[in-house]
Amino acid sequence: MAIGNPASTDMPEERDADPDMKQIVHLDDVITTVVMARVTDYFGFFVFAIASALVFPTIFFPYLEPVAATLASFAVFSLAFLARPVASLIGRKLQRRIGKAGKITVALMVLGTSTVAIGLLPGYDQIGWVAPALLAALRIVQGLGLGGSWDGLTLQLKSAAPKDRDGLYSMVPQLGGPIGFCVAAAMFYVLTGFLTEEEFYQYGWRFAFFAVMAVNVVSLFARLRLLTTNFGSDEKTMMKSAPLGFLLQTEWRTILLSAFLPLSSYALLHMLTVFPISYTLLFTDNAIDRIILWQLVGGALAVGTVILSGVLADRYTKRAVLLGSSVLTLLLCLSIGTLKDNPAIYIVAGFIIFGLSYGQSSAIVPDRFSPDCRYSGSAFATNLSWIFGAAFAPLVGLFLASTFGLWAAALYLVSGVLVTLVTLLILQRQFDQA
């Protein structure tokens, strides 16, 4: 199946490619490219996330008590999310000057360079307080690169999807989450398993950050390839950047709904990936490589349930899938106590539920944006949802667990589920009134 018309001369606004250079590609090629781009994004994301729990407290905050050091590391982790909206605003101006391809190239180079620089940073023992300060600064730069690299891939794929398979196509970009995590976790599993503790903390962890630069190059070519793909006659409208004032004035309700809807899945993601590693290191005698191994098992199963979410969404509705996965997440909270003695129960079951939730978490609301605001509205809402649901999840979860116990961390996850359920209720009422 091919996408686009070889004779088409429609030229999307702010696009660099010459109309004559438009490619006719098969849909399976587009799917492969979208998955590649998202996997590389999440790989870099989780390399930093895992290192925040496993490495940075020891390397950059050794002067603090273990719990305080990990909380400080998680505070640095959150900085990138706070920088993303700023990067989006900068990216809008940059895109007008050098085009979308130029903007994405600059953003990914900024992201890759800052990530490699983190891998080269000396620790606190070498340069004192300058080390954590530089880590925080580079994390902000990472956020600028992440926010500036928004490309609308999900919107492009949705526009190419057959109407009766919208749920299946909507889950394709979401595969990047569990696959990207598995790749990052597998790297740390190998590094911690084959190196001594001294070797790992001295130089081993740095290899993961160097690898991010290599995969960013792959991501760049994958994204640029899609920029020369014609996705249909409505692409000019779909990929248009709306003026910020007009966007906020006309679409603020849809932006908030889009931002709040994925909170359950985003909070669950971090409570399954980063939080168990930090909790295990600080409060249990469990071997960390066993925790990562169970996470790899869970991540592999989550790939399957992400795909299943698309099948179920097409058979029933996206709203039904999210409602069911939210209820399952509430039940999962009852098992969080097993992290101490039998962590496989919470981790594996959690990843299975996460796949169902995450697979459709970003697919319901974007169609409710007006066509000329869909691209900018989705970008704005995505940045907000990562701030609300992901930026502080490891920090808040660990603080509550260390202060009150695991039950308090479970309540944090419950709060994210309740926000998602309320958003679903509002969407249902809007649908009934339409």
Domain count, the chain: 1
Provide mean pLDDT across the span 133-158.
83
pLDDT band at 275 (very low <50, low <70, confident <90, very high): very high
Output the pLDDT for position 229: 60
Greater pLDDT, 249 or 236: 249
Q: Tokens for 89?
A: 């605003």
pTM of the complete model:
0.89
Output the pLDDT for position 349: 97
Tell whether 9 is covered by a domain: no
Q: Is the pLDDT of residue 97 over 80?
A: yes
Tell whether 5 is covered by a domain: no
Output the pLDDT for position 27: 65
Question: What is the pLDDT of the chain when averaged over all its residues?
Answer: 86
Residues 44-89 pLDDT 10s: 889 999 999 999 999 999 999 999 999 999 999 999 999 988 888 8
CATH code, 52: 1.20.1250.20
Provide mean pLDDT across the span 143-154.
78
Lowest mean pLDDT among 13-17, 165-169, 316-320: 13-17
How big is the CA angle at 390 (ends 388 and 393), to the nearest 5 degrees? Answer: 100
Output the pLDDT for position 308: 96
Tell whether 99 is covered by a domain: yes
Interatomic CA distance for residues 360 and 306, integer angstroms: 8
Q: Is the pLDDT of residue 233 over 50?
A: no
Query: What are the angstrom distances between the C-alpha of 274 and each of 62, 330, 369?
Result: 19, 19, 33
Share of the chain above pLDDT 90, in %: 53
Query: What are the angstrom distances between the C-alpha of 27 and each of 31, 159, 169, 226, 266?
Result: 6, 11, 11, 11, 29
Which residue type sits at 61? F
Provide mean pLDDT across the span 13-37.
58
Provide mean pLDDT across the span 265-276.
94
Residues 389-421 pLDDT 10s: 889 999 999 999 999 999 999 999 999 999 999
Tell whether 12 is covered by a domain: no
Output the pLDDT for position 15: 40
Query: What are the angstrom distances between the C-alpha of 322 and each of 376, 410, 434?
Result: 24, 19, 21
Output the pLDDT for position 273: 95
pLDDT band at 5 (very low <50, low <70, confident <90, very high): very low
Could you tell me the residue range of the domain that residue 320 belongs to?
21-433
